[in-house]
């Protein structure tokens, strides 16, 4: 028995695993590849050079792989790549990349993406994130693993969001949000660190203590970003178990441009 509804329009050149199910009135283009166990709901459009991995749940009324909302785009074969085990709820719009950057919009694994989320061209989303309803990412945004975006979060183009960070509802991000930081506001301001999320993910007391120290150096000690980074680097000797967390924070801070800065 076919798992593709008779009203769906699947181009003969599309590559769908035999276990993929496709709902009524969905349209799938010729350059689309979909892995085993993925389900696609009704009234979706999946087009462009789009690759979707295994065991994803794509609900009805999604647009995946449309051309970027970029006036410079001239038909180049850019891509959208979605990993495994993602849940993509209704009315999401994920665009392909653009030739002015990587040429790829990329979504990792095990993400929970709620309704009306927009991923513009060349965004990169890590693994195990949660995007609440109406989160909106402009072009070239980078989102690390375990990030949580509150509903109606809006992210300016080229902004980076570090792993384990979290935004409150209706946050507006114009600057980079470092790992572990919780923010809120328009524009967003740092409020605390995501301590409860870290506990739920199995962070030891020593690692959480190091995150608290990083928050103090970044936000309470009235230091420049360079001076705060030096204080944070010294934490490795004091709290060796937290060395990977410190290294992640330092890598993020070193990648922050003077023009963009971090959420303060």
Catalytic residues: 121-122, 139
Cβ burial of 246 (10 Å; 0-12, 13-18, 19+) is: buried
Q: Token match 């065991």: residue? A: 55
Q: Strand 181-185 and strand 188-193: pairing? A: antiparallel
Burial environment of residue 113 by CB neighbours within 10 A (0 to 12, 13 to 18, 19 or more): buried
**How far, CA to CA in Å, does 132 sit from each of 89, 119, 167?**
10, 13, 10
Query: Rounded to an integer, what distance in angstroms lies between the CA atom of residue 85 and that of residue 211?
Result: 30
**Helix (H), strand (E) at residue 28:** strand 27-28
Crossing angle of helices 243-254 and 205-219, rounded to 10°: 30
């Amino acid at each position: 028995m076919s798992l593709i509804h008779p009203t769906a329009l699947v181009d003969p050149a599309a590559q769908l695993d035999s276990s993929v199910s496709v709902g009524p009135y969905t349209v799938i283009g010729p350059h689309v590849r979909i892995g085993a166990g993925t389900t696609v709901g009704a009234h979706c459009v999946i087009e462009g050079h789009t690759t979707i991995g295994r065991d994803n749940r794509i609900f009805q009324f999604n647009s995946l792989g449309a051309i970027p909302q970029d006036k410079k785009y001239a038909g180049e074969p850019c891509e959208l790549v979605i990993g495994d085990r993602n849940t993509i709820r209704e009315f999401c719009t994920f665009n392909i990349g653009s030739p002015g950057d990587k040429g790829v919009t990329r979504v990792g694994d095990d993400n929970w993406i709620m309704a009306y989320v927009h991923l513009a061209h060349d965004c990169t989303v890590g693994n195990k994130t949660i995007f609440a309803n109406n989160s909106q990412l402009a072009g070239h945004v980078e989102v690390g693993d375990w990030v949580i975006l509150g509903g109606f979060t809006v992210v300016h183009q080229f902004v980076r969001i570090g792993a384990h960070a979290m935004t409150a509802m209706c946050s507006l991000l114009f600057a980079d949000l470092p790992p572990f930081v919780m923010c809120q506001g328009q524009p967003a301001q740092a409020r605390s660190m995501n301590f409860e999320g870290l506990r739920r993910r199995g962070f030891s007391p020593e690692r959480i203590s190091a995150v608290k120290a990083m928050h103090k150096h970044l936000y309470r000690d009235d230091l420049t970003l360079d001076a705060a980074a030096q204080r944070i680097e010294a934490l490795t000797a004091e709290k060796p178990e937290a060395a990977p967390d410190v290294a992640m924070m330092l890598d993020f801070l070193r990648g922050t441009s003077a023009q963009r800065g971090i959420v303060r």
